[in-house]
Structure 1
Amino acid sequence: MPRLFTAIEIPHEVGTTLSGLRGGISGARWIDPENYHVTLRFIGDVDDALGRDIMLMLGQVRRPAFDATLDGVDQFGGHKPRAVFAAVKANPALTELQAEHERLMQRLGLGAEGRNFKPHVTLARLRDASTRQVADYLAARGPYRSPTFHVPRFVLFSSRDSVGGGPYVVEASYPLI
């Protein structure tokens, strides 16, 4: 089975505003707007049986729909930037949804996620990017703020191992109530 992860999708209108942030960093691999998302829980490569169990377990989630906003652009990697992203404004509903996904995956025997949850939309992956270019990019685009958008569902995405992220396929979608 392909690599799996749970996520919330970014609406087309917000993706359009994010795509306006592209450019300005040499060698950046920019994510295609149709692949923008906020990862809730990376699952990884699983066999078909575990994949079915994951799909069934996620169907038990009963959380309310909520609104979200992207607020600010930043980078991962410190002195050796490896990605630029749009941050999701602090949102208890999103944090609780992610925590439930984490608990469910651990209940299925998957190891705990090793990184703290920092909700974001990856805009570009960087390799050998100049820290000066990234700093200039962030200075110009850091104040970005998206329109608030409604989150009516989360999805289970699959992906093939590829360079730059995507294409992602929705394997299942789960409505928020």
Structure 2
Amino acid sequence: MRSFIGLDLSANNKLALAEWREKALPSVSAKRPEGLLPNQKSPPVSVPPENYHITLAFLGDITPRQHDELLSILDELTAEPFDIELDTTGYWDGPKILFAAPFSPEKPLMKLAKEIRKAARASGIPVESREYRPHVTLVRKATSEVPAPLLPPSLKLHCQDFHFFESVSTPSGVRYPIRHSWSLEPNISVRERLRRGLL
């Protein structure tokens, strides 16, 4: 099972980010290219809004045992809700993607990603050790020739849960169905949770 742990965006946030992308990157088509010649380079392709997410830990292909062990560990993980401000963009030449990201990632986000990677390693899943850089991929097969966005994004995300996503290839492209979810809970007393109706 090819999978990752990540944050989903609300439907409204996905639509808002897609609208910003259309304004800021008018030269990038939202349609998948068809009928390319053998030697013709594939043009940049916009990621469908329904696929927008922030990866916390890429797991790759994992076994059922690793899957069950990881879910068991993550069931015990506690973390508070937090906000993320998508206010900058970037380009990575290796994977050839253009992305939106927080200029200064919030500490709760970075801590959550660290704890999830620790849980993955404890489950026997090798995860990359390079510095974690949260982002939402907007364009794939991008090159340095893709013009910079005309304006920066300005979108606040409120994160109240995180998810186990499966990566599924379909005839119309890859999809990321959510297979399991965990709530992020405020670090407050049981009495206060009862008062707020959280229990």
TM over 0.5: yes
Q: Which residue of 1 aligns with 2:96?
A: 82
Distance 1:175 1:169 in 2: 17
Equivalent residue, structure 2, for 1:69 = 85
Instruction: Select between 154-163 and 82-91 the one with higher mean Cα deviation.
Output: 154-163
Shift of 1:68: 1.3
SS of the aligned residue for 2:108 comes to helix
Q: Which has the higher relative contact order, 1 or 2, with Cα contacts under 8 A spaced 6 or more apart?
A: 1
Does 1:5 find its partner at 2:4? yes
Q: Which has the larger radius of gyration?
A: 2
Amino acid at match of 2:68: R
Post-superposition shift, 1:25?
3.4
CA distances 1:92-119 after superposition (whole Å, capped 9, x unpaired): 0000000001111111122241432110
| Per-residue deviation, residues 103-160 of structure 1 (Å, max 9, x unmatched) | 1111112224143211000001115x3x33x2x2x2413x2211x2211000000012
Contact 1:156 1:171 in 2 (8 A): yes
1:14 aligns with 2:17: no
Q: How many residues align?
A: 167
Matched, 1:101 2:100: no
Q: 2:169·2:175 contact (CA, 8 Å) conserved in 1?
A: no
Aligned equivalent of 1:174, options 161, 171, 182? 182
Shift of 1:167: 0.7
Matched with 2:69 is 53
Letter in 1 for 2:123: L
Gaps of 5+ in 2: 30-42, 186-199
Aligned to 1:110: 125
Q: Report Cα offsets for 1:17-41 as digits up to 9, x if no partner.
A: 2112044137112111111000000
* Paired residue secondary structure (2:150): helix
For the residues of structure 2 that align with 1:165 and 1:44, how far apart are their CA atoms?
A: 18
| Maintained 8 Å contact 2:66/2:124 | no
Identity rate, percent: 27
Q: Would you say the 8 A contact 2:51–2:176 is kept in 1?
A: yes
> Which residue of 8, 13, 35 corresponds with 2:51?
35
**Does the 8 Å CA contact 1:65/1:176 hold for their aligned counterparts?**
yes
User: Does residue 150 of structure 2 align to residue 140 of structure 1?
Assistant: yes
Alignment partner of 1:149 out of 145, 151, 157:
157
Secondary structure at the residue paired with 1:69? strand
- Report the residue type matching 1:24 in the other structure: S
Cα RMSD over matched residues?
2.2
CA pair 75-159 structure 1, distance change in 2 beyond 3 A: same
Gaps of 5+ in 1: none
Rounded Cα–Cα distance in structure 2 between residues aligned with 1:164 and 1:36: 16
Q: CA deviation at 1:56?
A: 1.3
